[in-house]
Amino acid sequence: MEEQNIFELIHNMDNFTNKLIIQWNKSFNEDLGVSHVLVLSHLNQNGKSRPSDIAKQLGLTPPTLSYLADKLVAKKLAVRIVDEADRRIIYLNITDKGIEVLERAILEGQKLRKNLFQKLTEEDRAQLANIFEKMNRED
């Protein structure tokens, strides 16, 4: 019985996550996916980074990151920088335009989540906050 409940919980959580991503994609009209925004966020927080390090940090394959980087560079949201000491090393860095797009993406996500959480009662939100806190513990 417990295994069935866990399966149902996972299924419902996946459905919720997918719904949230679809709604975000519809409302954020930049022709970018969540993965692109994660790369921009990484660059914004960490500064210029080697693509292999970004891929490792985000759990992406190097070819996937290469694809994402190509699109970000083409849209002028990121730039490639060659290391002056070793020209074989290439870094990726966020541009001012990339920061603006990232900020809009974050605001859109916050607005979407706020609208979703407003459907819950105060008690529901408190319970959900406690659940998230428990699930985020490193124990």
Distance set, CA 60 to CA 38, 70, 92 (Å): 11, 15, 15
- Region 94-112: what's the mean pLDDT? 95
Tokens 């949201």 sit on residue: 77
d(CA 95, CA 101): 10
Per-residue confidence (pLDDT) for residue 24, from 0 to 100: 87
Summarised one tens digit per residue, pLDDT across range 3-56 is: 778 889 899 989 988 988 888 888 888 889 999 999 999 999 999 999 999 999
**Of 5-9, 87-91, 92-96, the least confident:** 5-9
Summarised one tens digit per residue, pLDDT across range 59-79 is: 999 999 999 999 999 999 999
Instruction: Please list the residues that pair with 80 across neighbouring strands.
Output: 92
Local confidence band at 139 (pLDDT 50, 70, 90 cut-offs): low
d(CA 102, CA 117): 22
Query: Would you say the pTM of this structure is higher than 0.85?
Result: no
Per-residue confidence (pLDDT) for residue 46, from 0 to 100: 97
DSSP state of 80: E
Distance set, CA 69 to CA 38, 55, 62, 87, 105 (Å): 11, 11, 10, 19, 17
